A and B are shown apart, each in its own frame.
Chain A
Amino acid sequence: MSFLVDSFLSAIRLMASLDAALIEIVAVSLKVSFSSTGIACFVGIPAGFALSTYEFAFKRSVITILNTMLALPTVVIGLFVYAFISRNSVFGTYDLLYTQQAIIIGQCILIIPIVTVFTLSAINRIDKRYRKTALTLGANPIQTAGIILTEARFGITAAVVAAFGRVISEIGISMMLGGNIRGFTRTMTTAMALEYDKGEFVLAVALGIILLSISLFINILLHYFQGKMPE
C-alpha cells in the first residue's frame, strides 16, 4: 500500500515539475486524439445527418453495420489496419506503420461509427417540425441542415465528447500501429503499459492521474451537454 502512496506523491511532484518526458507523452496523446476526433467529426456528422435525412437502398443495413462497429475491439482495428499498411501490403509504400498517422487512421475507424450513430440518434430525437419550418421560411438544403444541426447541437457535441474520450483512453491501436516509440508515437496509455512492464510506477501513476482528470473533464462535459438535450 505504501508503494502506491509513494508513487502517488512522486507522481504529483513529477507533474508539478512539468517533467519534459511527461509533457511530451501528453502532447502526443492529445495531438493524435484531437486529430482523429476532428477527422471523425468531419466524416461522421455529415454521415449521421445523411442517414437521418435521406432514404436510400440498404440504409437499415448500413445503420446495423455502424451499430455493430460500436463494439469493435481496438486490437481488431489494429490488426486490420496493420494488414493494409505493413511494409509488404497495399499501402506499404507510404511508410505509415509506426507513425502518428497510422494511430490516427486506426482511431478514426474506431470513432467514426460513434460520431455517426450518435449524430443520427441526436437528429432523430429533435422535432421534425424544425425541418418543415425552415423549408416554409424558404430555406435551401444547406440552411435547413444548419437549422437541424443547430437544434441537435447538444446531442452532437455529446457524440464528439464521447468519441474523444474513447480515443484518448484506447491502447490497442496506439500500441499495434504506433509502436510506442518515445517522443514520436508514445501516448499516455502505451507509456503507462511500458512503465508497468518496467516496474516504474511513478510516471505510470502520473499519466494515470492526468488520464483520469481528462476522463473526468470529458464526463462533466458529456453530462452538461446531455442535460441540455431536449426530452
Chain B
Amino acid sequence: MIYSLKHIKKNYNGRNVVDIETLDIEAGCTYALSGPNGAGKTTLLNILSFLSIPSAGQLSFFNAPVVFNEKNLRQLRKSVTLVDQHPILFSTSVYKNIEFGLKVRKTPKNKRNDIIASALKMVDMTAFADADARTLSGGETRRIAIARAMACSPDVLLLDEPTADLDIESRLTVENNVREIRDQKKITVIFCTHDLSQASRLTDKKIVLINGQVHDIYHENIFKGAVFSPNTDEYYCRINENILIPVPSTDKDKIKISIHPGMITVVGRKKTAPDISFSHKGRITHLGMEKDKIRAVIDIGIPISVLMEKSDYDSNGFRINDAVDIDFKRNGIKILG
C-alpha cells in the first residue's frame, strides 16, 4: 500500500472535516475521489500531499508511519505532488516554472532540459516553453501545472478537480494527459471529480467521501429541503416551490436527500401510459455513455442525473431537448442527514 489511513481526523473550528476510519490506497493505481461539495475531498488531498497535518490518526506512506514534523514532511513532499483545482504558475516563463521542482531536487543542469522537454511534450505544450506563464489560458495553465508536477517524477500525483471550469476541448486534453500518465508512468494518481462518467472513463477505483467519511457508494442528486407531510404516512422533501420528492418517514423538519440515478423512471411524453402518474415534467439536457448504461441529465427545474439501461434508451429514442416525464421510486431515495 502506498497510503494507509487509520482513524484520520481533521478538525476546523471544532468541525470534523475529514473523519476516516480506514482507507488503503494501492501503489500504481488511479483513483477517482468523488463526493459532494464540502465532503472533505480537498482537505484529504492536502493531507495526502503532506501539506496539512491531520488532527488525529495514523497515516502510513509506503508502509511506514508518517512522522509529522516539518523536516520529515518536506522530505515526503518530494514524493508527492499536488495540482490544485485552480493551479497558479509562477510569474516567469513556462520553462522556469517546470524547472523549479528540478532545482529544488538538485537535478543536474544538463539533465533538466531533457526532463522539461519531455514533460512539455507529454502535455503537448512544447511550443510554450518560452512563453510567459501569466499569459496562458485556464486549460493551458492546468496542463503546464500537470507538466510541472510530472517533471518532479513523483510517486503520487494528486489532482484536485483537474477539469473543473474548462471547456470541452480543454477537458478532453487534460483527461488524455491523465490517461497517458496512468498508462505510461505507472504512478499512483488520485484525482477529485464530480463527474462520475469522467471517473468511470479514467479509472475503476473510486473513493467516495461524504461528510468527511468514506462511503461504499456514491450518492448522487443530493438536495436539501424542508419536510412536508400531507398525512401521517406520506412524507415529501420540498426542494423548491414546485418540486416535491417522496421520502421515507422522518421526524426532521429539514433534510438532505440523495436520489439514486438508477431508481428514476423516465418516459418520453408520447409514451406515457395513462395509468401511471408521473410526478415531474422536464427536458433532457445531457446524454452520455457510462460503461453499458446511458447517463442523462434531466432539467425539471433542478438538474436530475439519471442512469438508464441502454434498452430503455433505445426503445424511447431519447434525444437532447426531448420533453420527458420522470418519477422517483421511494426506495431509491435516501435521507443523508
Q: Which residues of A contact B (CB under 8 A)?
A: 127, 129-130, 132-140, 143, 147, 150-151
Contact = CB atoms under 8 A, between A and B. Distances in A.
A130 B90 contact: yes
8 closest A-B pairs by beta carbon, nearest first, are A137-B101, A138-B78, A129-B88, A136-B82, A138-B104, A138-B77, A139-B104, A136-B81
B45 to A, nearest CB: 10
Contacts of B101: 137-138
A130 B148 contact: no
Contacts of A147: 90, 100
Contacts of A133: 84, 87-88, 90
Contacts of A129: 84, 86-88
Nearest to A228: B91
B49 interface: yes
A138 B88 contact: no
B88 A137 contact: no
Interface residues of B, number: 23
B104 A132 contact: no
B27 interface: no
Nearest to A132: B51
Interface in B41-88: 49, 51, 74, 77-78, 80-82, 84, 86-88
Contacts of B78: 138
A143 B103 CA distance: 10
Given A135-B51, A135-B77, A139-B100, 7 more contacts: A130-B88, A132-B82, A133-B84, A133-B90, A137-B81, A137-B148, A143-B104
A214 to B, nearest CB: 29
B91 A137 contact: no
Given A127-B88, A129-B88, A151-B90, A137 B152 contact: yes
22 contacts: A127-B88, A129-B84, A130-B90, A133-B84, A133-B88, A134-B100, A135-B51, A136-B49, A136-B81, A136-B82, A136-B149, A137-B81, A137-B101, A137-B104, A137-B152, A138-B77, A138-B104, A140-B74, A143-B104, A147-B90, A150-B92, A151-B90
